[in-house]
Structure 1
């Protein structure tokens, strides 16, 4: 498969908006036209050729970004197909508004990863900042669909106002994961930080442990929900060999948040 490659010329000193660099937007352009694209807004916004050495063949299949930085924002924002591979870390808002395709990040990712995404798969091999799948000011909801896999840890308030979709981390979620969540699944293999699910309305949080449970969650004892087998099969189909081990049959259920309608749940697997 041919790829269009962007090699970072030097580490950026100010924030750069890469939302223009998605395969479907660049497929009909020549390399010289791509080099002349402006990255972001403003009089001093750089052109692609100022920031990257561009090579390869434009198409709607694959983009490779060599080199990373926490100042590179909106990588894969609006991605609707194909693959974007980043050989390094990225800044905030990566994968925002995605509807399809695959975003593969070799390093860390910043705040609001996958906010308002509706589809596709995001794989971060490092750790992720706060508000993964969260709603920014002005957004009605956060994550709306798709699958996010994080190999490292996740910051605070993951899934803020999340509506649909699945977020899986092999590491640990920070404080207040699932804040104001209205649907979807957060799954951790290492556990939750303190106070997950504040004002959780609906949705499922799955993990082996919780550092500190809010007093507004009710212990329902051990249950054997069919949904765990469904979730395990779905994730295995989507992620293949990257999928975590299947969930156990029986889990301990904490229902809440009873400070609101209380139809959400924390399922403890250990």
Structure 2
């Protein structure tokens, strides 16, 4: 491992010189992934709707003194034309290569099936599943030319076992798993891996809004009796994009403290 990787505490692999595109990078799990990849020397293209929030993450990373270049690419991942424009701009401004793609952006619009509107269904599928397809399609063109790439799509335990009140979310996250397994078979011949990380209940602003009784129940049902930390998901993602996972593809890594 190079000196660049050895410099930063918590770095799992050496990603010096590689460019990583991370969606949903302005908060929670995406923010933690950005921090971890930066510690490992990667150049970062950070995507989220809020440009101000992205710049806040960039300032945090700058304070770490990491060697990689970090840029914000604000946009709406629910719009295919914006995704295509983002990928083109990343290619243009960050050296013409994208070695790592992490699709983390996601939303919830919870409700019981009989009360769920078409808009609640469509919006979740659009952001959580269709955006993964469009980003992967756009970035895979580069990776195929490079004959190298690492794709990690963030799903959820809701996509593995389902969750009442989340038929839309569970369907979108299960779709990410099936999509990634198929994609891994299409891209493997060009040394491109595609894997899924499926978090359980992680301590983010999204889970913070849950009622206290729900949070208590989740902790009781989890073997480790606690919620996970965003950094623990980031560690799994970082391993999958590193050289040590070069023979791992089409897999679902569940990081849920034993909940499922």
**TM class by shorter-chain length?**
under 0.3
Decide which structure has the larger Cα Rg and report it.
1
| TM-score where L is the length of structure 2 | 0.28
Ranked by relative contact order (alpha carbons within 8 Å, sequence separation 6 or more), the top structure is 2
